[in-house]
Amino acid sequence: MVGVKEELEPFFNPKSVAIVGATIARGVGVFNVVDNLMSFGYKGEIYPVNPKYAEVLGKKAYKSVKDIPGPVDLVIIAVGRAIVPSIVKDCADKGVKSVIIVTQGFAEADEEGKKLQDEFMKVAKEVGMRVVGPNTLGTHNFIDNFTSSFIPIKKREYDPIGVVCQTGLFFAGFPRFKYAKAIDVGAAIDVDHVDVVRYYTEDPNIKQIFVHIEGFARPGRGKEFIEAVREAKRRGKDVIVFKVGETEAGRKAVMSHTGTLAVEDKVFDGILQQVGAFRVRDYNELQLISSALLKLPRMKGRRIAMLTHHGASGVMAKDAAEEFGLEWANLSEKTIKAVKELSPPWLPIGNPVDIWPGLMGGPIKMHKTALKAVLEDENVDGVLLSIHIADYSGWPAVGSYGHVDAIAELAPQYDKPVIVVPIGVEQEATRRALENVKNVLVCDTIRDAFKAFSAIAPPTPPEMQLAK
Amino acid sequence: MKSKALRELYEKGIRILGESESRKILEEYGIPCPKTVVIGYEEGKRAEEYLKELKRSSDWPGYPLFLKIISPDIIHKSDAGVVKRVTSDDEALAAIETIIKNAKKYKAGVRINGILASQDVSSPEARELLLGAVYNEHFGHLISLGIGGVLVEVYKDVEFRAIPITESDVYSMVSRLRGRAILGPFRGMRPINMNALIDAALKLSRMIEENPEIREIDINPFIIGPERGFAVDARMRVE
């Protein structure tokens, strides 16, 4: 039997691809897959298929998939729905095993659409062909320079993230979510989330799997999803899930409270807890959790030390720690002594550690000393820095407070996460300065920082859970 | 369908199981239920006779206890006045007469199958939970655990996990309840016995695994205190 990796590989990285419905038009507002593929740097064979043209963008065009001389790894179908079954039949005759159906208007639309869908799926099943879609942008792969997308996407740097979604919108990515591979499973009538999670699990280039799901197209797939996510976790991959939409299916039970309360969202929530997947509910949370998991080392316990320029952030942090179940480290004698030596004698040293008074005697020294102390403190599992950088005219540029240098120098030396929350108009400059520093994440808010800690912290021990 | 008790009922064509039928299956799986005795109903039989028969049974729980009418026609028993808590023989005799009278008033032609005496397992430290299961077309059978009692659908404070569940699933479910604090120490009450809750939830999970024909079950309330937990009332639907 062919494994899921081999079966889905042609969708992400085909040696040759035919585009049925290829067009010669180019330019702004024209969605030309052939054009996108070429400018994306795809190295395989491109076969445009369109009986109207002899040539498309310098490539010989074919009347039918069956006329293509060599083997065809993948066919992208973007034609009117009525002729999709006959194109799929051509593909089957040609021996094609992988087809992306961009066209929409099938079972999700009307009776006629359902008839057409049943017709082409029957052919596909007979020859063991895998189908992505319908109603999809297909795939996008920054590692191997392949795209089936009719929307142009620029080449860029990427992180080891694999995306499976039910909308092309995630293909755009986000400033702090630069995936490597993405697939839009569309209506998911054949290739679905479960298949793709299994594919990414086998893919050594992928360390984090992001699942956007509206629902399962087929009953029973939820159970397989549980197994697929568990296997991904066993293989050391993180799974982040964005579940949206509520369908009535699966709620036929009416007699019991249990049945009435088992709404899809609630059930999904429990299942994701059970399998150790992270649930996000918006784009900000996605970027936050994704980058925390990618950039930060895992915490060994749930004890936080906070260094802050202002007491107010410390108060916010107390609330956030409570919300996310993080604990406050009992700082060691050594840490307290190190901070006390640089602080005015009247200042009590607690946690959060108020480093502002100590900064007055020399910000560079204070930042370094305090940060080193908490990083070396065995009672501390994670470090939070709340830094106030206002644009006071005449104050030196970012970094001369010493915080950027201190973090960049010290954080990579220890196996502890350092989260920085810069406050002030130079927030973005601080973010950029620390972007590529190992073990460091810059967050927008104190609450985000604790949300990020909770993603990388070990679970609360059972006896604590009840006591809280 | 591994449960012998369930198979017997199933073969009789029973698909909705009330309290006394459900408890047979729960007991088969070792989920603790309050001690109960059932005496068949006979038109014209006197309260003294019912009480004598109840007390003769080896399952007689002793006072305090609840006396209830068993009837397939009466769903909300407290509302219909066919449940009474009693603490002595005198109270019991009066209660038997009252609940029979109230049952007959409930509706014309009401079916009365018997009178049930069940142990009152409540205590000042007892909390009411919901334990249950339901079949989900995506994930298969799910176990539910939440804050129980009559307001269960108001609070909607219930967690779900797919079977089979583990001990850490039970902890995780409890930790995600908004009302989890009532399981810990509060207002001078000792925390609930988590092991008793875990034990019952895991047994329920096994019961559902071995009897997938059970499509829905509510154990509400599952009454639990610092020492023991009891499935006080349960209903299930089988397919």
The domain A298-467 belongs to what CATH superfamily?
Answer: Succinyl-CoA synthetase domains (3.40.50.261)
Ordered by start, the domain boundaries in chain A are 1-135, 156-295, 298-467
Chain A, nearest residue to B143 by Cα: A258
Q: Which of A257, A262, A465 sits opposite B153 (nearest CB)?
A: A257
Asked if residue B65 lies in contact with residue B118, where contact means CB atoms within 8 angstroms, the answer is yes
What ipTM was assigned to the predicted interfaces of this complex? 0.86
Which domains does chain B show, CATH number per domain? 4-32+123-238 (3.30.470.20), 36-119 (3.30.1490.20)
Sign of the dihedral through C-alpha A246, A250, A256, A258: negative
Return the exposure string of A428-463: e unless at least 16 CB atoms fall within 10 Å of the residue's CB, then b.
ebbbebbeebebbbbbeebbbbbbbbbbbbeebebe
**Which residue of chain A has the CA closest to B131?**
A258
Which residues numbered 265-284 in A keep a CB inside 8 Å of some CB on B? 266-267, 269-271, 273-274
In the predicted structure, residue A87 carries a pLDDT above the cut 90: yes
What pLDDT is recorded for position A156? 93
Q: CATH second-level architecture of A1-135?
A: 3-Layer(aba) Sandwich (3.40)
Residue of B nearest to A466 (CA): B184
- Tell me if B157 sits within 8 A of B189, measured CB to CB: no
User: If we measure between CA atoms, which residue out of A119, A122, A61, A127 comes closest to residue A94?
Assistant: A127
Contact B113, B70 (CB under 8 A): yes
Residue of chain A whose alpha carbon sits nearest to that of B144:
A258
Residue A247 forms contact with B (CB below 8 Å): no
Among candidate residues A280, A205, A298, the one with its CA nearest the CA of residue A239: A280
Q: Could you tell me how many CB contacts below 8 A there are between chain A and chain B?
A: 127
What residues in B contact A274, CB-CB < 8 Å? 161-162, 165, 169, 172
Residues of A in contact with B19 (CB under 8 A): none
Q: Which residues contact A445 (CB under 8 A, 6 or more apart)?
A: A421
Shortest CA distance to A237 belongs to which of A300, A162, A292? A162
- Tell me which fold the domain A156-295 belongs to: Rossmann fold (3.40.50)
Out of B159, B165, B171, the one facing A462 most closely (by C-beta) is B171
Q: How close, in Å, is residue B144 to chain A by CA atoms? A: 6
What is the spatial distance between Cα A318 and Cα A446, in angstroms, rounded to a whole number? 10
Sequence-distant contacts of B167-172: CB under 8 A, at least 24 apart: B167/A462, B167/B198, B167/B202, B168/A459, B168/A462, B169/A274, B169/B143, B170/B145, B170/B194, B170/B197, B170/B198, B170/B201, B170/B202, B171/A462, B171/A465, B171/A466, B171/B198, B172/A273, B172/A274, B172/A459, B172/A465
Across the interface, do A266 and B158 touch by the CB < 8 Å criterion? Answer: yes
Give the separation between CA A442 and CA A384, rounded to whole angstroms: 10
Say yes or no to pLDDT of A393 above 60. no
Nearest to B172 among A222, A261, A273 (CB): A273
Q: What is the mean pLDDT of residues A374-390?
A: 92
Contact criterion met (CB < 8 Å) for A261 and B137: no
Inter-chain residue contact B139 with A260, CB threshold 8 Å: no
Residue A250: band (very low, low, confident or very high) from pLDDT cuts 50, 70, 90: very low
Antiparallel, parallel or unpaired: β A98-101 and A74-77:
parallel
Structure tokens of A52?
């109207």
Q: How far is CA A212 from CA A54, A284, A394, in A?
A: 40, 14, 48
The yes-or-no verdict on residue A467 having pLDDT over 60 is no
Share the mean pLDDT of chain A.
91
Rounded distance between C-alpha atoms, residue A2 and residue A415, angstroms: 41
pLDDT in tens, chain B (239 residues): 999 999 999 999 999 998 889 999 999 999 999 999 999 999 989 999 999 999 999 889 999 999 999 988 887 788 899 999 999 999 999 999 999 999 999 998 999 999 999 999 988 899 999 999 999 989 999 999 999 988 888 899 999 999 999 999 999 999 899 999 899 898 889 999 999 999 999 999 999 999 999 999 999 999 999 999 999 999 999 99
CB contact under 8 A, A250 and B173: no
Q: What is the mean pLDDT of residues A374-391?
A: 90
Q: Are A210 and A293 in contact (CB under 8 A)?
A: no
* Residue A252: partners with Cβ closer than 8 Å, 6 or more residues away: B137
Strand stretches in chain B, DSSP E: 16-17, 36-40, 65-70, 83-86, 114-119, 127-136, 140-147, 158-162, 214-224, 229-231, 234-238
User: Does the distance separating the beta carbons of A270 and B159 come in below 8 Å?
Assistant: yes
Spell out which residues of chain B touch residue A246, defining contact as CB-CB under 8 Å. none
Nearest CB partner across the interface for A223, out of B134, B140, B169: B140
Partner-chain residue, chosen from A252, A270, A465, that has the shortest CB–CB distance to B174: A465
Q: Give the span between the Cα atoms of A382 and A321, in whole angstroms.
A: 12
For the stretch A116-171, pLDDT in tens is 999 999 999 999 999 999 999 999 999 999 999 888 888 999 999 999 999 888 99
SS3 of residue B71 by DSSP: coil
